[in-house]
């Protein structure tokens, strides 16, 4: 059985998808871009500011579902420019200081709202 997860502390979906879906002890978080949930707008600044906002959005969804960053087992990072990879990695790494999840990173064009980054996340209940 699946459970839809939604929190006002992360951006509302901008298309036909849920913020996250929990099924079988796993949480599937939709790709998050750097939208400030209070304004509904993309945060100002560069890749560092956008990466921080994306990670905050992911954290809010994890928390709403009763998970934490320690439960994350896989992420997919979509970057508008791979030249930003090292900057993203330095911020991303602070959220996963030990036993980081598996990850893939791709360079893509045309992220929603002109975002520089999008990260999708899968978490699993510990022991599950």
CA distance 109 to 19: 22
CA distance 94 to 9: 21
Q: Where residue 13 falls among pLDDT bands split at 50, 70, 90?
A: confident
Q: Where residue 127 falls among pLDDT bands split at 50, 70, 90?
A: low
Tokens standing for residue 74: 């896989």
- Those residues with Cβ within 8 angstroms of residue 91's Cβ, 6 or more apart along the chain or in another chain: 48, 51, 52, 55
Model's pTM, two decimal places? 0.95
39-73: pLDDT as tens digits: 999 999 999 999 999 999 999 999 999 999 999 99
79-116: pLDDT as tens digits: 999 999 999 999 999 999 999 999 999 999 999 999 99
Q: Is the pLDDT of residue 34 over 90?
A: yes
CATH code at 2-124? 3.30.1330.40
């Amino acid at each position: 059985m699946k459970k839809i997860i939604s929190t006002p502390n992360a951006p509302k979906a901008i298309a036909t998808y849920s913020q996250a879906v929990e099924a079988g002890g796993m949480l599937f978080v939709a790709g998050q871009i750097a939208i400030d949930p209070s304004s509904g707008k993309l945060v100002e600044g560069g890749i560092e500011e956008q990466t921080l906002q994306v990670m905050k959005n992911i954290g809010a969804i994890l928390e709403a579902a009763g998970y934490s960053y320690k439960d994350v087992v896989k992420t997919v990072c979509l970057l508008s420019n791979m030249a930003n990879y090292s900057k993203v990695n330095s911020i991303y790494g602070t959220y996963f200081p030990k036993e980081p999840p598996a990850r893939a990173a791709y360079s893509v064009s045309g992220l929603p709202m002109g975002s520089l980054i999008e990260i999708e996340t899968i978490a699993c209940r510990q022991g599950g």
